[in-house]
């Protein structure tokens, strides 16, 4: 059966809402909400392509509803329909990227055409997003195979030929390995974010030794830290304890934060410190003596792709994926991350995790 586009009508006035429902029912899957809270509940439970929205409603204003809709899915098309048009409301609507703005009483052919065009744009956006996700997934998978070969053979060369290599050759091989690991990390980050956006990331909770996981993560970054002349330190909490979480994802958080710390530190050290945040939460701090972040950069680093300014900081390579990956993973694990930093005074990335998942059950 052909998929029918979905339309959500949000209007506290029964007459206009029912008129719109009757107009679009033959062609669309139609949902009707009499309030903002009801509209948001429908959004959480059913797919919606286009929303017709009355701006003037009790309790939760149309502008607030529009903001929440765009937070839920920025690509949902919104058509504002209101009998209380004004310059202010039009400006609010345009600010949130609405598809169009019409006043009551509406012209049926006009509103029908607007909804049709809004659906077409929504479908084109979804098609474009799917093509981009497929491309990223394919490219990431294709890059993994040659990178794995490079990493594997360089490790063999390092083990088998270490005694006969000159100092320059040994340094060149170490550079090959560290750069290959860096590229592999970028590919893995892009692939993870793509899978996360598709909803394909699964969490599995099991008990594991957090201290041992931190030690293994530090070992992974030892070659790069040695090359940069940095000391890697682990200051574990006492007594040591077992954490119940997804070990692979906790390890990936550590990799993301350690990669960022080592990459942006020219001299000094990178320290991982663990402590009990409260009886139910463990805190892990990754502290470096690097270039630091200004306050606006700290906030931006957690919400999107970001890397310092385009001048001095530009010499530090990377796509700014580390904090983004860590934030997404911690959301899955029930944790939280904060960045404390000052320009030129190093960075402290602190994250908390439940000692056990909510309810104490293993999945």
Averaged confidence pLDDT in the chain: 81
Task: Write down the pLDDT at residue 227.
Answer: 80
Q: Regarding predicted confidence, which is higher, 207 or 299?
A: 207
Task: Write down the pLDDT at residue 21.
Answer: 93
pLDDT band at 206 (very low <50, low <70, confident <90, very high): very high
3-state secondary structure string, the chain?
CCCCCEEEEECCCHHHHHHHHHHHCCCCEEEEECCHHHHHHHHHHCCCCEEEECCCCCCCCHHHHHHHHHHHCCCCEEEEEECCCCHHHHHHHHHCCCCEEEECCCCHHHHHHHHHHHHHHHHHHHHHHHHHHHHHHHHHHHHHHHHHHHHHHHHHHHHHHCCCCCHHHHHHHHHHHHHHHHHHHHHHHHHHHHHHHHCCCCCCCEEEEHHHHHHHHHHHHHHHHHHHCEEEEEECCCCCCEEEECHHHHHHHHHHHHHHHHHCCCCEEEEEEEEEEECCEEEEEEEECCCCCCHHHHHHHHHCCCCCCCCHHHHCCCCCCHHHHHHHHHHHHCCEEEEEECCCCCEEEEEEEECCCHHHCCC
**What number is the average pLDDT over the span 76-92?**
70
pLDDT band at 120 (very low <50, low <70, confident <90, very high): very high
Task: Write down the pLDDT at residue 312.
Answer: 41
Tens of pLDDT, residue by residue over 15-70, are 889 999 999 999 999 999 999 999 999 999 999 999 999 877 778 888 888 888 98
Instruction: Specify which residues 50 forms β-bridges with.
Output: 7, 77
CATH fold for domain 206-360: Heat Shock Protein 90 (3.30.565)
**What number is the average pLDDT over the span 200-223?**
89
pLDDT band at 294 (very low <50, low <70, confident <90, very high): low
Task: Write down the pLDDT at residue 207.
Answer: 93
Instruction: Return the number of other C-beta atoms located less than 10 Å from residue 25's C-beta.
Output: 11
The yes-or-no verdict on residue 188 having pLDDT over 80 is no
pLDDT band at 315 (very low <50, low <70, confident <90, very high): very low
Task: Write down the pLDDT at residue 310.
Answer: 42
Task: Write down the pLDDT at residue 273.
Answer: 94
Task: Write down the pLDDT at residue 163.
Answer: 81
Both tokens of 302, joined, read 């957690």
pLDDT band at 305 (very low <50, low <70, confident <90, very high): very low
Task: Write down the pLDDT at residue 323.
Answer: 81
Query: Cis bond leading into 105, ω under 30°?
Result: yes
pLDDT band at 328 (very low <50, low <70, confident <90, very high): confident
Task: Write down the pLDDT at residue 76.
Answer: 92
The yes-or-no verdict on residue 361 having pLDDT over 90 is no
Tens of pLDDT, residue by residue over 130-173, are 887 778 777 777 887 888 888 888 888 888 887 888 888 888 88
Q: Does domain 6-106 have CATH number 3.40.50.2300?
A: yes
Both tokens of 103, joined, read 């006043």
CA geometry: angle 355, 361, 363, nearest 5 deg: 105
């Amino acid at each position: 059966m052909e998929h029918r586009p979905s339309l959500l009508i949000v209007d506290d006035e029964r007459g206009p809402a029912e008129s719109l429902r009757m107009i679009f029912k033959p062609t669309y899957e139609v949902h009707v909400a009499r309030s903002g809270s009801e509209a948001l509940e429908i959004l959480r439970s059913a797919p919606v392509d286009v929303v017709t929205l009355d701006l003037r409603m009790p309790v939760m204003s149309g502008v607030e509803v529009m903001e929440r809709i765009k937070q839920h899915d920025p690509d949902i098309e919104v058509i504002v329909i209101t009998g209380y048009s004004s310059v202010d409301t039009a400006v609010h609507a345009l600010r949130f990227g609405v598809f169009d703005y019409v006043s009551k009483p509406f012209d049926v052919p006009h509103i029908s055409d607007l909804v049709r065009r809004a659906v077409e744009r929504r479908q084109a956006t979804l098609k474009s997003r799917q093509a981009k996700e497929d491309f990223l997934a394919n490219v990431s998978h294709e890059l993994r195979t040659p990178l794995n070969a490079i990493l594997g053979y360089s490790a063999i060369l390092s083990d088998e030929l270490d005694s006969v290599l000159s100092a320059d050759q040994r340094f060149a091989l170490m550079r090959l390995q560290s750069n290959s690991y860096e590229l592999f990390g970028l590919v893995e980050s892009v692939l993870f974010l793509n899978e996360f956006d598709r909803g394909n990331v699964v969490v599995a909770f099991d008990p594991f030794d957090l201290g041992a996981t931190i030690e293994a993560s530090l070992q992974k970054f030892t070659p790069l830290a040695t090359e940069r002349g940095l000391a890697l330190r682990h200051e574990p909490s006492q007594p040591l304890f077992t954490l119940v979480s997804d070990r692979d994802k906790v390890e990936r958080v550590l990799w993301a934060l350690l990669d960022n710390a080592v990459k942006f530190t020219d001299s000094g050290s990178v320290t991982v410190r663990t402590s009990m945040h409260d009886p139910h939460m463990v805190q892990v701090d990754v502290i470096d003596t690097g270039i630091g972040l200004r306050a606006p950069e700290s906030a931006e680093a957690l919400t999107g792709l970001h890397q310092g300014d385009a001048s001095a900081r530009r010499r530090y390579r990377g796509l700014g994926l580390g904090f983004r990956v860590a934030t997404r993973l911690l959301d899955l694990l029930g944790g939280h991350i904060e960045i404390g930093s000052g320009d030129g005074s190093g960075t402290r990335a602190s994250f908390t995790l439940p000692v056990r998942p909510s309810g104490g059950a293993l999945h």
